[in-house]
Structure 1
Amino acid sequence: MGFILTANVAQAAEPEGNSIGAVYVLSNQAAANSVLAYSRDANGTLTYVGTYATGGKGAGTGADPLGSQGSLTLGSGFLFAVNAGSNDVSMFAIDGTKLTLLDREPSGGQMPVSITVKGFIAYVVNAGGTPDISGFAIDPIGKRLIPLPGSRRPLPGGSAAQPAQVRFAPDDDELLVTEKGTQLIDSWRINPLGYASRPTQSASSGVTPFGLSITNRGFAVVSEAGSGAVSSYRTNEIEPLEPLSRSVPLDQKAPCWLVTTGDGQYAYTANAGSGTISSLAVGPDGRVRVLNSVAGVVAAPLDLALSRNSRFLYVREGAGAVSGFRVAPDGSLSSVGTVTGVPAGAQGIVAR
């Protein structure tokens, strides 16, 4: 459908300077939602810059109030955030670490928990009521979100779905959603106008499919919070997902959040029940193997994000902090420090 995508490449060179990137965290506060912005220097160290209101409301406090990945996302030069407490999504302009709120639109359902962008189309998954996906067109000239009339599609799992993440495949017109409550992974083909076809249901290899990343070779890598494992699949647009690696054990508890490097070679999970980060290798055939079950140690990891060149991995902690790690060419991790001050109940993290 002519989506525009720029693929990340692990270990790409970065420009010199005091501030060369940024990390953003969603506060998810019930009274007023906001985005916390941190500058990133050449060594991966973060410095708090400011907080920017989304104009909406979050879902409040708790260890993991949204139970999702992707409540913040970057795409088409903008930052997008879900407002689970006011049932809408916000769109920001980015100028370095400065954010400007451009638009806020209804999410098309109740309790949006995850959003994904590809080219000038965005989709959100709503977890409340009858869970659904709903689409938007991104107007880069008018700098606004335009809800796509009639784009709402209920999830196959119905009220039991408990969606965790919605994600576009990078190199085809497929949209995927993980359902924690039904052990399903849903997929839709998105047509040139941005509308989703009938869903295809695929059974998860393990229990509680949660975090989802799709590599530049079209392999979906999925964390299984209940199984303590990671599985991989080949995406096929219309056909069900083809299992490649089934429930590869990590020997860690609750690996909920998962990311893959831009070159598709490595995956990392945040293991909430073990206080660890695990690293995996993704082979040319899409199969995964564990590199290090304990590649990093953090306090209650609740989400994670890679910088745009995959040189740094950032982990949001339940203890109100963000910890950073340098990603070596062999996939190993080394600490680059921690910043504190993240409010309780925060959800979502993205990095540039």
Structure 2
Amino acid sequence: MFKKLTMATGVVTLVAACGGGNDSAPAVSQLFAQTNDSTNAVVHFIRNADGTLTKQPAVLTGGKGTNGVNYFMGNIVAPDALTSNHSVIVGTDGSQLFVANAGDNTVSTFSIDKTSGTLTLLAVSPTGGTRPTSLAFANNVLYVTHQQGVNELGAYRVGSDGKLTSIGTYPVVQQDALPTEVSVSPDGKFVIVNGFLKTLTPVQPANALLAYPINADGTLGQVVSSTSVGVGPFGGVFGRGAQAGVYATSDAAGGTASSYSFANSGSFTPLSGPVAVTGQAAPCWIAITPDNKFVYVSSGSGAISLFSLDGNGKLSLANASAASEPPVLSTTSGFANDSWVSPDGKFLYQDYAGDDKIVAYSIGVNGTLTKLGEQPANTQSKISLQGLTGT
């Protein structure tokens, strides 16, 4: 992604690129990512009470990754090969893990033993699409976006055996639009998709936020499209509780962050932004603390930026570089991509794909980040680390 970063700043990573808690806390707290190697594997950690990580043996997904080959970057080996958020997610009750295998167009389903932390591979299912890269789950239905195709959004019923059965496919803004994220609204009524291109060459963002109403059987209804205020919304995150109707985005192409109110009709109305992520290129990934006070935006330039979120849903930049890691390769930055905030709001975990590692931070009362430690991902290409979620 480094090549086009110089050519198109944030647009590059825009298409170069967060998990949740459960109602009942597991006995063992964990963290998961994927190697995206040719023989794909889950990078697995136990989360200790002090926020540090204890590495567990990697677990094969049974599927194939891209080994760092980045479709958006012209099939070169580059960070953020999946160009997405949420390629690894935990199911609603914390008992399942889903992993997108973009190299062979499959999704792996694991069971999670909440007491021991053991992962058991249940199934590897074809999606019928091309390069699945972002996942969302609600009411036993998995929603998957793909990098190419006429219908790049799919809905799949998850069986008791972990296998996926397609129940519908849907178009996004246009064919081959390369969506970067799918999520489900907090009320469970809409599937949200963002991060589109009108054209890949030259790179031209579509600037659209899409909301699909979820029918009772998990299939999707007629899409509601809203125009974004930021250029190239890549990642998005909803607030919690009283602010569940607030949606914040990282706008990769514009180098900004924005926030919106989300209506029962499925439309988005701007609340703030676009707010410049000063000095950072390609802000693509975004996470929020459970108390809605702080929003973290991670960028292809290798930094985590801290935003405050007020009671009206407005974003303010507090620190453009709240944390960063020096690059270990001359060809790319540390490349801060997928991140995840623990359900108790005490810790933030960050992938640094350019450095092939995951860093743990404690979150201070004013949102500051203090590094607790780091763990290597040990990917084959040394830059293919993707996805981050936990329990």
Q: Give the structure-1-normalised TM-score.
A: 0.89
Deviates more, 1:80-89 or 1:178-187: 178-187
CA contact (8 A) 1:108 1:152 kept: no
Q: After TM superposition, which residue ranges in structure 1, 4 or more long, deviate above 3 angstroms?
A: 6-9
2:62 paired residue number: 55
1:21 paired residue number: 29
Letter in 2 for 1:24: F
CA contact (8 A) 1:24 1:35 kept: yes
2:295 paired residue number: 267
Following TM superposition, by how much is the alpha carbon of 1:119 offset from its aligned partner in structure 2, in angstroms? 3.2
Matched residue SS, 1:329 = coil
1:93 paired residue number: 111
Question: Measured at CA, do residues 136 and 99 of structure 1 come closer, stay the same or move farther in structure 2, by a change above 3 Å?
Answer: same
Are 1:196 and 2:220 an aligned pair?
Answer: yes
Matched residue SS, 1:158 = coil
Which structure 1 segments of 5+ residues have no match?
1-5
CA contact (8 A) 1:277 1:294 kept: yes
Determine which of 158, 168, 171 is the counterpart of 1:154.
Answer: 171
Are 1:113 and 2:133 an aligned pair?
Answer: yes
| CA-atom RMSD in angstroms | 2.1
Following TM superposition, by how much is the alpha carbon of 1:152 offset from its aligned partner in structure 2, in angstroms? 0.4
Matched residue SS, 1:263 = coil
CA contact (8 A) 1:72 1:82 kept: yes
Which structure 2 segments of 5+ residues have no match?
1-19, 69-77, 198-205, 326-333
Instruction: Please list, as runs of the form range in 1=range in 2, the aligned pairs for 1:112-191 lying within 5 A after superposition.
Output: 112-139=132-159, 142-149=160-167, 151-159=168-176, 161-181=177-197, 182-191=206-215
CA contact (8 A) 1:94 1:100 kept: yes
Determine which of 214, 223, 230 is the counterpart of 2:250.
Answer: 223
Determine which of 270, 274, 294 is the counterpart of 1:247.
Answer: 274
1:3 paired residue number: none
Are 1:310 and 2:345 an aligned pair?
Answer: yes
2:234 paired residue number: 210
1:336 paired residue number: 372
Q: Give the structure-2-normalised TM-score.
A: 0.81
Question: Measured at CA, do residues 80 and 8 of structure 1 come closer, stay the same or move farther in structure 2, by a change above 3 Å?
Answer: closer
Q: Deviations over 1:221-243 (max 9, x none)?
A: 11011211111111124343111
Separation in structure 1 between the aligned mates of residue 101 and residue 266 of structure 2, nearest angstrom: 33
Q: Deviations over 1:21-61 (max 9, x none)?
A: 2111111112x111010111111111211111111111221
Deviates more, 1:89-98 or 1:130-139: 130-139
Are 1:35 and 2:42 an aligned pair?
Answer: yes
Letter in 2 for 1:228: G
Following TM superposition, by how much is the alpha carbon of 1:20 offset from its aligned partner in structure 2, in angstroms? 4.4
Separation in structure 2 between the aligned mates of residue 335 and residue 51 of structure 1, nearest angstrom: 24
CA contact (8 A) 1:49 1:97 kept: no
Larger strand fraction of residues? 1
2:5 paired residue number: none
Letter in 2 for 1:312: F
Separation in structure 2 between the aligned mates of residue 118 and residue 330 of structure 1, nearest angstrom: 33
CA contact (8 A) 1:202 1:240 kept: yes
CA contact (8 A) 2:34 2:40 kept: yes
Question: Measured at CA, do residues 254 and 40 of structure 1 come closer, stay the same or move farther in structure 2, by a change above 3 Å?
Answer: same
Following TM superposition, by how much is the alpha carbon of 1:177 offset from its aligned partner in structure 2, in angstroms? 0.8
Separation in structure 2 between the aligned mates of residue 276 and residue 290 of structure 1, nearest angstrom: 14
CA contact (8 A) 2:293 2:309 kept: yes
Counting aligned pairs with the same residue, the percent is 29
CA contact (8 A) 1:133 1:154 kept: yes
Following TM superposition, by how much is the alpha carbon of 1:144 offset from its aligned partner in structure 2, in angstroms? 1.8
- Greater relative CO (CA pairs within 8 A, separation 6+): 2
1:71 paired residue number: 87
Following TM superposition, by how much is the alpha carbon of 1:190 offset from its aligned partner in structure 2, in angstroms? 0.4
Following TM superposition, by how much is the alpha carbon of 1:255 offset from its aligned partner in structure 2, in angstroms? 0.9
Q: Deviations over 1:142-182 (max 9, x none)?
A: 24244243x100112322x2211001011240111112312
Deviates more, 1:90-99 or 1:46-55: 90-99
Following TM superposition, by how much is the alpha carbon of 1:131 offset from its aligned partner in structure 2, in angstroms? 4.9
Q: Deviations over 1:124-152 (max 9, x none)?
A: 1111233511112234xx24244243x10
CA contact (8 A) 2:148 2:175 kept: no
Separation in structure 1 between the aligned mates of residue 156 and residue 358 of structure 2, nearest angstrom: 31
Matched residue SS, 1:47 = strand
1:326 paired residue number: 362
2:388 paired residue number: 349
Separation in structure 1 between the aligned mates of residue 111 and residue 91 of structure 2, nearest angstrom: 11
